[in-house]
Amino acid sequence: MRKYKWGVIGTGKIAHTFAVALRHCENAELTAVASRTAEKAKDFAGKYGFESFYGSYREFAENSDAEVVYIATPMASHFEDAWLCLENGKNVLCEKSLTLNTAQTEKLLAFAKEKGLFFMEAMWMKCRPVYRRMKEWIASGAIGGIEYIKADFSNFIPYDDKDRLFRADCGGGCLLDLGIYPITLTHDLLGAPDEIISSAHMMNGIDMSNTILFRYSSGAFSSMDNGFEIQLRNNAIISGTKGFITLGDWFHCTQEGVLFDREGREVERFEFKDEINGYEYEVDEVHRCLEAGLTESPLVPHSDTVAVMKLMDRCREQWGMRFPNE
């Protein structure tokens, strides 16, 4: 596999985490980084070894040699930033949630298809070894038909009106930042629900916490609690007619999955230690797809990205939650 020239747009916390993994991936060449100021871009480039830096996203998109771009800006900026990169012939890996709503997501993915470029939402959970092993267990029939899923993602985060998480104009709120994980897990295993029952604690135009229940005509259901106001263990259980699977604390990035039979006896335990910090697996997936000439990943297909966004739109409709820049 040849080396691919990477660029990064945005220099916040998640970009730093991603860059740590990127610089240790042998098929990644750290080509360029862009921030809203040249000073921030220069500091980031120097810290991780990027060859060049830019003080504006447009300058980066129009002038850098990056072949694939990781977008790590606030969610409200994803649509514009991703569009700019696609417009300039660059493949894109964009942080979740991909956009603010389904209309934006569908428009962006259609543009990527029109340009013949690779595009993937950075749902790193789906690329991780434990998650993929869990899918193999289910596909093999080890737990039978799925009857119940419980997955939470709630962290206590002190309120800060300057933090993007708490700003409606940045696409804030816990649904798009945290809730997308249990919703993605549920949709990946059970598809779209027949009924959604949800409620949220709203403050300043964003959901501070929410409870979501998906019900299916088969009788299966999924229960999800998400938020910034309380700390939960953030683990998951997938229970079926023949057994169940547990994903450890922080289910979206856990390094341990356990398969049990119907009586609760352990059948198999899968433990996997990350090579770097876990983000390397989505980098590897991007490389694999580019090498194969694919424009979307089989692990994170466009159809799933759209479907999950539709589910989040339905939840927000129930809460009367609308972003000011939608």
* 3-state percent breakdown (helix, strand, coil) of the chain, nearest 5: 40, 25, 35
Whole-model pTM: value is 0.97
Residue 269 — pLDDT band, cuts 50, 70, 90?
very high
Question: Per residue in 209-261, pLDDT tens?
Answer: 999 999 999 999 999 999 999 999 999 999 999 999 999 999 999 999 999 99
Which of 183, 222, 196 is closest to 97 using CA atoms? 183
User: In this model, does residue 166 exceed pLDDT 90?
Assistant: yes
CA dist., res. 248 & res. 239, Å (int) = 14
In a 10 Å sphere around its CB, with 0-12 CB exposed, 13-18 middle and 19+ buried, how is residue 110 labelled?
A: exposed
Tell whether domain 126-276+307-319 is in CATH 3.30.360.10: yes
> What is the structure's pLDDT at 1?
83
Give me 201's structure tokens: 């604690």
Number of H helices, E strands in the chain: 10, 15
Phi-psi region of 212 (alpha: psi -120 to 50; beta: other; left: phi over 0): beta
Instruction: Give Cα separations from 221 to 79, 194, 202, 208, 249 (angstroms).
Output: 32, 10, 25, 24, 21
Question: Per residue in 115-128, pLDDT tens?
Answer: 999 999 999 999 99
Give me 41's structure tokens: 């871009």
Which of 177, 46, 61 is closest to 117 using CA atoms? 61
Beta carbons of 146 and 238 less than 8 angstroms apart: yes
Each domain of the chain, given as residue ranges in start order, spans 4-125+279-295, 126-276+307-319
Q: Which CATH number fits domain 4-125+279-295: 3.40.50.720, 3.40.50.740, 3.40.50.850, 4.10.520.10?
A: 3.40.50.720
Instruction: Please give the share of the chain, as a percent, with pLDDT higher than 90.
Output: 99
Question: Per residue in 28-77, pLDDT tens?
Answer: 999 999 999 999 999 999 999 999 999 999 999 999 999 999 999 999 99
Question: Per residue in 291-316, pLDDT tens?
Answer: 999 999 999 999 999 999 999 999 99
> What is the structure's pLDDT at 325?
86
